[in-house]
Structure 1
Amino acid sequence: MNEFRVAVEAGDFAALGDLLADDVVFRSPVAFTPYEGRPIVAAILRGVGRVFTDFRYVRELEDADGQGSALVFETYVDGTSVNGIDLIRLDGEGRIAELTVMVRPLSAANALATAMAAEFTQIQAEAAAAMSGETA
């Protein structure tokens, strides 16, 4: 999805919320249970924007039906090199219905888990504020 890629490459993680379906499902590389719903997923993506440095997409693959894509990326989390893939599936309205992120190697997943754990209080506050119509 071009709009997603452009926003992420520009570091505009706040803009990603507008691209998400209301019932979006996010599968994290460091959490077993998926996150569901625009408020929490948008807040998680903003948190990701705070922990990634020197982010870049290096390859894009698209499904034959045009409703899905895989974006291969490289970035750093606290100095640890991360290789990963964003798997995106769109709904009938062109919004992101599913987002699955995979990262490697294990040291990268561990660095990401630690960094995101430190962000999670803010992520939860942002999601709660969005659900109540406030600004966190």
Structure 2
Amino acid sequence: MANIDAWHAVVKTRDPQLLSDLIADEAVFHSPLVHTPQAGKVLTTAYLTAALHVLLNDSFHYVREVHDGEHSVLEFALELDGIAVNGVDMIQWDADGKILDFKVMIRPYKAIEVVRTRMAAMLETLK
């Protein structure tokens, strides 16, 4: 699956151009921290860029993946400020293999607060 391989390349390199190339113009990002969907390539790219910086530390790893046609679900785990965090990335791909919809869920609640604070700071630096 070229699309999931491309996503793993983004995660591995954090390359902003690879990320931008992978996101459809009409993409929508669903954050565990913001109650409204973030629509469009610009916002989706910003949120995913911030997430890559906040979550991708040495402990980050995908635990399992499930792929079914245009849908992928990737469970991840990491440690952040001494908190064991796990979550799920749910990706819908378009016909061209680009990200059309990206939803993130994170647990436990204690981790959400840490991620929220760090994401807000990172999004501010990306402006």
TM-score of Structure 1 vs Structure 2, range by shorter chain: 0.7 to 0.9
Corresponding residue number in structure 2 for 1:120: 123
C-alpha distance in 2 between matches for 1:11 and 1:102: 22
Matched, 1:51 2:54: yes
Q: What is the CA–CA distance in structure 2 between the aligned matches of 1:103 and 1:38, rounded to whole Å?
A: 22
Aligned length: 121
Query: Do the aligned partners of 1:28 and 1:102 also contact (CA within 8 Å) in 2?
Result: yes
Query: Structure 1 residue 104 and structure 2 residue 125: aligned?
Result: no
Which stretch of structure 1 is more off in the superposition, 24-33 or 109-118?
109-118
> Which shifted more, 10-19 or 97-106?
10-19
Residue pair 1:77, 1:115 contacting (<8 A) in 2 also: no
CA distance in 1, matches of 2:15, 2:110: 24
Q: How does 1:75-90 map to 2 (within 5 A)?
A: 75-90=78-93
RMSD (Å), alpha carbons: 1.5
**Paired AA for residue 14 in structure 2:** D
Gaps of 5+ in 2: none
Separation of aligned partners in 2, 1:11 and 1:48: 14
Identity %: 38
**Is the 8 Å Cα contact of residues 51 and 77 (structure 1) preserved in structure 2?**
no
Give the letter for the 1:21 counterpart. Answer: A
Residue by residue, what CA displacement relative to the aligned partner does 1:66-118 show, whole Å, maximum 9, x if unpaired?
A: 21110111123344321011000011221110000001111111111111111
Distance 1:45 1:3, change over 3 A: same
Larger mean Cα displacement after TM superposition, 51-60 or 19-28: 51-60
**Runs of at least 5 residues in structure 1 that lack an aligned partner in the other structure:** 126-136
Query: Conserved in 2, the CA contact under 8 Å of 1:89 and 1:98?
Result: yes
How far did 1:122 drift? 2.2
Q: Which runs of 4+ in 1 moved over 6 A?
A: none
Distance of 2:45 and 2:9 partners within structure 1: 16
Out of 33, 41, 48, the position equivalent to 2:44 is 41
Counterpart of 1:24?
A: 27
Cα shift at 1:2: 2.3
